[in-house]
Every structure is written in structure tokens, then in C-alpha cells.
Amino acid sequence: MKPTPSDPDQSTPPPNLVAERADELTAEERAAGVDDPGALAEAVLTESEERTLDRTGTAGERRKSQDTVDPRG
């Protein structure tokens, strides 16, 4: 796993990480014909960092045992 950026705006991914992500498009991204791999990489990494840094949004999404489906039907 790569480190979280140390930029003042921590959701801003470092340029080398953006370039690496742009070089490694997923099969779906290649099939879609991405026009600007760099812009896509920056957007994906920025969103990922924002979700990583904002744990309050993800921490409350865990299911409790009473929220699961009863396996008996």
C-alpha cells in the first residue's frame, strides 16, 4: 500500500502516484476508451483519499447482526 500524501490538502495525490495509476488503467477503463488517463487517475485517487481520511462516513456503514438476513428464510 502506498502512503497517504503529505500535501497540505491530504486528499491531493502526489504526481508520481497519479502517473503510475494512469499507466495502469483497469480493463473496464481501457474498454471505455478513456480520453485523459491522467485526469481519471487523479479523480480516482483523490476520491479514494477523501474516503480514507473521512472515516466517519464509512464507520457508520457497518451492519449489525440484527441487520443481516436470517439464513432460515
Q: Would you place residue 70 in the very low, low, confident or very high pLDDT band (cuts 50, 70, 90)?
A: confident
Q: Which residue has the higher pLDDT, 69 or 50?
A: 50
Q: Is pLDDT above 70 for 1? A: no
pLDDT at res. 22: 94
- As a whole number of angstroms, the distance between CA 12 and CA 22 comes to 15
Q: Domain residues of the chain, as ranges?
A: 12-20+37-55
Task: Quote the DSSP letter at residue 8.
Answer: S
> Using alpha carbons only, what angle is made at residue 43 by residues 40 and 44, rounded to the nearest 5 degrees?
85
- As a whole number of angstroms, the distance between CA 23 and CA 38 comes to 8
pTM of the predicted model as reported, rounded to 2 decimal places: 0.59
Q: Would you place residue 5 in the very low, low, confident or very high pLDDT band (cuts 50, 70, 90)?
A: very low
